[in-house]
Amino acid sequence: MTAITARAHTNIALIKYWGKKDPKLILPYTDSVSLTLNDFYTDTTVEFVDELAADQFSLDGQAQVTTKITPFLNLVRDLAGINLFARVESTNHVPTAAGLASSASAYAALALAASRAAGLNLDQQALSRLARRGSGSATRSIYGGLAIWHRGEDDATSFAEPLPTPDLDLAMLVVLVDAGPKPISSRNLMANTVETSPYYPAWVTHNQQAAQQMVTALAQNDFAAVGHLTEQSSMQMHATILASDPAFTYWTPETLKAWAIVKQLRADGIPAYATMDAGPNVKILTLGEQVPKILNALQADFAGRVLTTTPGPAAKVIGAQ
């Protein structure tokens, strides 16, 4: 069968997804809103092959176990009605040590490449639902620019859709904070937050409202509101995580330092808003014209540790042979 190569870009949630109502189907408790990024992406080639006795998977040229991707490939095999094993080769295009290698771009690229390689021609909504089964954040990486993942009620209704492109020159800076080894998988931490954080129900209520407010703020090109909602969703997620049992935080002293710089920039009239995911790096949402000023403000503490990017494109097929 044809080998298909697909490229998908990672995304950063402005309104976060944190917590699964259904861990098997990956149905989230709240809607989320994200920005797909131009400079960080995964290329994945999938070929279903007659003579293979098991799936094979390599990442950046290194052989990997297939415990995660085989169940995902089984979904594709079931949809397509085939029973061949697959050869899967992925390359992450993320600057070394950025800590941004993401399950979002990985499963979005795999969903597109595997479905096409199996002879399916899924539309974007079906691809988004399929990518969701690999990793929640991948649901949104099927689309370029801004996307909203509707939490839905079941497999059929939980998918992302693109949001109209606002008249805003969005840019994002990534401040690289030394991560060290991951103490706990984000998937397990997410489940523990849902189970043990007394703040979780409040977070769900606020975050669900925030997703709707974000859609409105974007439609109105209101960057101050977009930025404020972005920072609040992240802070509320991290506060909810901190209140879990056992208590936990991804924050390091450098995370706080970067956030303090962002707050000072705003006090100086520069629109800059911080957001953090399952790690200590700080991403700064801003407008393109502000990037030089922000780089300058970060220079003293984070020289050589800041990446700049802009909105990126939708997942696409880039090769077939």
Residue from 3, 4, 8, 13 in contact with ligand DP6 (CB under 6 A): 13
Question: Binders of ligand DP6: how many residues, by CB under 6 A?
Answer: 15
Nearest-approach distance from CB 2 to ligand DP6, in angstroms: 28
Nearer to ligand DP6, 13 or 272 (CB): 13
- Name the β-bridge partners of 272: 286
Three-state DSSP class for residue 316: strand
Contact positions with ligand DP6 (CB under 6 A) in 187-216: 187, 190
Could you give the CA distance from residue 80 to residue 161 in angstroms, rounded to a whole number? Answer: 24
Nearer to ligand DP6, 77 or 140 (CB): 140
DSSP 233: H
Stretch that binds ligand DP6, among 9-17, 77-85, 113-121, 198-206 (CB under 6 A): 9-17
> From CA 44, how far away is CA 109, in angstroms rounded?
6
Residue from 38, 58, 70, 186 touching ligand DP6 (CB under 6 A): that is 186
The single residue among 170, 278, 294, 306 that binds ligand DP6, judged by CB under 6 A, is 278
Nearer to ligand DP6, 3 or 255 (CB): 255
What distance in Å separates the CA atoms of residue 293 and residue 262, rounded to the nearest whole number?
A: 11
**Which alpha helices (H) appear in 68-196, and where do they start and end?**
69-80, 103-117, 124-132, 186-196
In this chain, which of 277, 282, 291, 312 binds ligand DP6, going by CB under 6 A? 277
What distance lies between CA 166 and its chain's CA centroid? 20
Q: State whether residue 64 is helix, strand or coil.
A: coil
CB of 230 to ligand DP6, least distance (A): 12
Tell me how far, at minimum, the Cβ of 70 lies from ligand DP6, in Å: 16
Q: Which residues contact 22 (CB under 8 A, 6 or more apart)?
A: none
Q: How far is CA 297 from CA 181, 226, 228, in A?
A: 28, 22, 20
Output the six-digit token pair for 271: 């629109």
* Binders of ligand DP6 in range 94-133 (CB under 6 A): 103
| Shorter beta-carbon distance to ligand DP6: residue 31 or 43 | 31
Tokens 């954080």: give the residue: 197
Residues 44-103 that bind ligand DP6 (CB under 6 A): 103
Q: Does 233 bind ligand DP6 (CB under 6 A)?
A: no
Taking the complex as a whole, how short is the minimal distance between the CB of residue 69 and ligand DP6, in angstroms? 13
Q: Does 32 bind ligand DP6 (CB under 6 A)?
A: yes
- Residue 274's DSSP bridge partners are 284
Q: How many residues does the chain have?
A: 321
| Residue 181: burial class (beta carbons within 10 Å; 0-12, 13-18, 19+) | exposed
Cβ closer to ligand DP6: 6 or 26? 26
Determine, following the binding rule CB under 6 A, whether residue 136 of this chain makes contact with ligand DP6.
yes
Least distance CB 109 / ligand DP6 (angstroms): 14
Binds ligand DP6 by CB under 6 A, chosen from 115, 135, 213, 275: 135
Stretch that binds ligand DP6, among 13-21, 157-165, 266-274, 301-309 (CB under 6 A): 13-21
Judged by CB under 6 A, the stretch of 41-49, 91-99, 153-161, 183-191 that binds ligand DP6 is 183-191
Our CA angle for 159, 165, 170, nearest 5°, is: 110
**Tokens standing for residue 144:** 């370029």
Smallest separation, CB 66 to ligand DP6 (Å): 17
Q: CA-CA distance, 57 to 255, in Å (whole number)?
A: 34
Q: Which residue shows structure tokens 């077939």?
A: 320
Binding footprint of ligand DP6 on the chain (CB under 6 A):
13, 16-18, 26, 32, 103, 135-137, 186-187, 190, 277-278
